[in-house]
Amino acid sequence: MRRIAWFLILLCASVVARTQDLKIPPNIEKLSAKAKETVEVTMDAPMLRWASKFLSADDPEEQKAAKLVANLKGIYVRSYEFDDEGAYSSEDVETLRSQVRGPNWTRVVGVRSQRDGENVDVFFRLENDKMAGIIVIAAERKELTFVNIVGPLEVDQLADLSGEFGIPKLNAREVSKASKGERK
Amino acid sequence: MSRLDDELKRALRRAEAPPGFADHVLARVVRENRTRQAAISGWRQFFTRPILRLATAAALSTALVAGGAYYRHAQMEKAQRAEGEAAKQQLMLALRIASTKLHLARSKVNDVSDGNQNRHEKE
């Protein structure tokens, strides 16, 4: 009996661990059939280590990238660009958003624009007040993008990227405060 | 007749070969043939020895295997390098997309906050 209980505990733990390291919902993958341009990047930890070996130490952009990905567990990107508006449904976007409804996830940015129809959500996954992942869902009129960066990602590191990749400078304190406030 | 003509005639005058010249030439040809044959038979002798033949075959095989292995290793390294470069490009693309979308979020937040500020100023 005790063995069965242990087995169930382990099973639950593995399910929880899997859901925390969520990846790409399968229904989103189907959108590539309709898309004019599709970008699909799937890089788990070994792949990231492998790719970062080829980053040049002489190139400042690649140097920063190497530093950023050093401790990451995965980067998953799906970006679909369509010819026409309405190629994806609001349910598709909602499926993406529903992936990040959990105690560890905090929405730090949520923009709904009726004017230009561009909606952007940024979620941080926090563990012991440290960033453990980030998800960006950008739903534009003719483009849908889902970015999932898994792993210990310091806010400073993210801010450090600004300039090199055009990432906006995020105020680490504000982000931390906002996320704490939302979790309460 | 000029002096030059005399000199030419003298120079081109038929001269008889010294006695035994043909014998000397033939003897020399035979001698050279023998030397060459002796050298060839020396090499043949080298390869007729079984241990030497085996050693030569082994050396050739080793050279072939080593050459093949080196070529294969070089090809594999080249392929791995190409795969690594492709992975790097993917990584950079992913980071660029992530940065672009974060920038979009940032600009949207700025738009909203600027709009609110303007509204407050008007009020």
Instruction: Give the N- to C-terminal CA distance of chain A in Å, as an integer.
Output: 39
The maximal CA–CA distance of chain A, rounded, in angstroms, is 60
**Residues within 8 A of B (CB atoms), A 112-171 only:** 113, 118, 120-122, 134, 136, 138, 140, 145, 147, 149, 161, 165-168, 170
pLDDT at site A144: 93
Long-range contacts of B16-22 (CB under 8 A, 24+ apart): none
What average pLDDT score do residues A55-73 get?
88
Mean pLDDT of the residues in chain B: 85
Measure CB to CB from residue A147 to each of B81, B98, B107 and give the nearest one.
B98
pLDDT at site B29: 92
pLDDT at site B96: 86
Residue of A nearest to B105 (CA): A120
A39 and A67 Cβ atoms separated by less than 8 Å: no
Which of A93, A45, A85, A96 has its CA nearest to residue A69?
Answer: A45
**Residues within 8 A of B (CB atoms), A 25-54 only:** 39, 41, 43, 47-48, 50-54
What digits encode the pLDDT tens for the residues B88-100?
Answer: 999 989 988 888 8
pLDDT at site A42: 92
Q: Do B98 and A113 touch (CB under 8 A)?
A: no
Mean pLDDT of the residues in chain A: 77
Which of A143, A148, A158 has its CA nearest to residue A123?
Answer: A148
Alpha helices in B19-49 (DSSP H): 21-48
Band the pLDDT of A6: cuts 50, 70, 90.
Answer: low
- CB-based contacts of A19: which residues, under 8 Å, 6+ apart? A102
Dihedral angle, C-alpha A42, A47, A53, A55, nearest 10 °: 0
d(Cα A7, Cα A16) in Å, to the nearest integer? Answer: 14
d(Cα A166, Cα A137) in Å, to the nearest integer? Answer: 18
Band the pLDDT of A174: cuts 50, 70, 90.
Answer: very low
SS3 letters for chain A? CHHHHHHHHHHHHHHHHHHHCCCCCHHHHHHHHCCCEEEEEEEEHHHHHHHHCCCCCCCHHHHHHHHHHCCCCEEEEEEEECCCCCCCCHHHHHHHHHCCCCCCEEEEEEEECCCCCCEEEEEEEEECCEEEEEEEEEECCCEEEEEEEECCCCHHHHHHCCCCCCCCCCCHHHHHHHHHHHHC
pLDDT at site B44: 74
What average pLDDT score do residues A127-136 get?
86
Report the gap between the CA of B39 and the closest CA in chain A (Å): 58
A82 and A36 Cβ atoms separated by less than 8 Å: yes
Measure CB to CB from residue A51 to each of B87, B107, B109 and give the nearest one.
B87
| Residue where the block lists tokens 């026409």 | A84
Band the pLDDT of A177: cuts 50, 70, 90.
Answer: very low
Instruction: Point out the least confidently predicted range of A3-12, A29-38, A113-122.
Output: A3-12
Q: Is residue A175 less than 8 Å (CB to CB) from chain B?
A: no
Residue B61 has pLDDT above 90, yes or no: yes
What is the number of residues in chain B?
123
Residue A66 has pLDDT above 50, yes or no: yes
Residue B112 has pLDDT above 60, yes or no: yes
